[in-house]
Amino acid sequence: MKDTLKFITWPALAGLFAALLFLDRYVLPPRHSEPLAPESVSYALAVRNASPAVVNIYTARLVPEQRRPRIEDLFSNRFNPPREQRQRIEQSLGSGVIMTEEGHILTNNHVISQVDAIQVLLHDGRLAKARVIGTDPATDLAVLKIDLPHLQPVELGNSEDTRVGDVVLAIGNPLGFGNSVTQGIVSALGRYGLQRNTYEDYIQTDAIIHLGNSGGALVDTQGRLLGINTLIYTAGDQGRAASPTGIGISLAIPVNLAVFVMQDLIDYGEVIRGWLGVSVEPVRRIDNGTPTGQALLVSAITEDSPAQKAGVRLGDVITHIDGEPIQDGRQTMHHIAMLRPGDNIDVTVQRETQSLDLHAVVGTLRQSPTI
């Protein structure tokens, strides 16, 4: 009897199991799993990493008080010695970024230009008096120094790796509110012609900045420094940072350029830039009758300059620098400016139908914005 039940039960169970599989797979409606909640995007870690290195800068200067003279004052001044001119304190604000453990701070030159006192407020609440190490109006950068222990410098990124569309964060001291963060993307690279600065190579973003953000940090989503926030471009002031609001066009100095300037100001008190001594005009490069890119027509040569010593002549067309084809005259000027006096550089020029490879020794730029 038991053997008979066993013989009947197992085939029945197997058949039931097969029927359930068939129903589940081919007959019953599919079961949908609960949708997963979308993972929230947060840049809190980047802000936490970068914020301790961003400082608020408060400046003050004494300015003569403008007072309209009264009739009785004009009469009494004829018989009495002149009174001392009254002065008032004019205050302003900005931002800065701690770059070294020794207390070097990068900011904009226009933040600290012509001021009499500079105070720096740290993220942890400490306050310190700052002194100016050096300024570079050509890039609108300045280096300050504070003497405090346990400073946390910012981690550096590489602005050469920055791409249009990258997410960025702007950290600074807008309108005196203290550390504040806005988020955007890189809108464009290599912006220029917006200031009277000699060297412009801005990163354009739509991260909103206001008055007081100047000198603050533009960081990536890891909290690494990509640039120094410098300008808001508005339709009304044509690029001057004098309006409290922008229109989605914010500009930052790339970190690679900023670090180059900072190191020279620390080491030498000035920025030492490379120089060839030629004035150039952009032209189209023609190879075998076909336009192939940009080149630079030599329109002037400084007497006894590195270019003249290398054999460059008026009317030559510079096609390559160190074997790299010219892409943009402004970028070429920046490239040469970041070389050191004494560095060797190869210059390829087109002279009538000849292509000549010349060798130059970079000199020191002292005045004009030539290359």
Residue 152 near residue 126 (C-beta atoms within 8 A):
no
110 catalytic residue (yes or no): yes
Report the alpha-carbon distance of residue 304 to residue 366 in Å, rounded.
14
The active-site residue, picked from 92, 159, 187, 214, is 214
140 catalytic residue (yes or no): yes
Query: Which token pair is 30?
Result: 């599919």
Q: Say how many C-beta atoms besides its own lie within 10 A of residue 17's C-beta.
A: 10
The active-site residue, picked from 110, 136, 159, 220, is 110
Q: Say how many C-beta atoms besides its own lie within 10 A of residue 80's C-beta.
A: 9
The active-site residue, picked from 140, 201, 220, 316, is 140
- Positive or negative torsion for Cα 111, 116, 122, 123: negative
Q: Name the H helices within 238-371.
A: 255-268, 306-310, 329-337
Residue 193 near residue 200 (C-beta atoms within 8 A):
yes
Query: Which token pair is 56?
Result: 């608020």
359 catalytic residue (yes or no): no
In 150-305, DSSP assigns E strands to 167-172, 180-191, 202-205, 217-219, 225-232, 250-254, 274-275, 278-287, 290-301
- Positive or negative torsion for Cα 40, 45, 48, 54: negative
Q: Say how many C-beta atoms besides its own lie within 10 A of residue 309's C-beta.
A: 15
Which helix H or strand E contains 332, and what residues bound it?
Answer: helix 329-337
Q: Residues in the chain, how many? A: 371
Dihedral class, residue 5 (left if φ above 0, else alpha if ψ from -120 to 50, else beta): alpha
Q: Say how many C-beta atoms besides its own lie within 10 A of residue 347's C-beta.
A: 24
The catalytic residues are 110, 140, 214
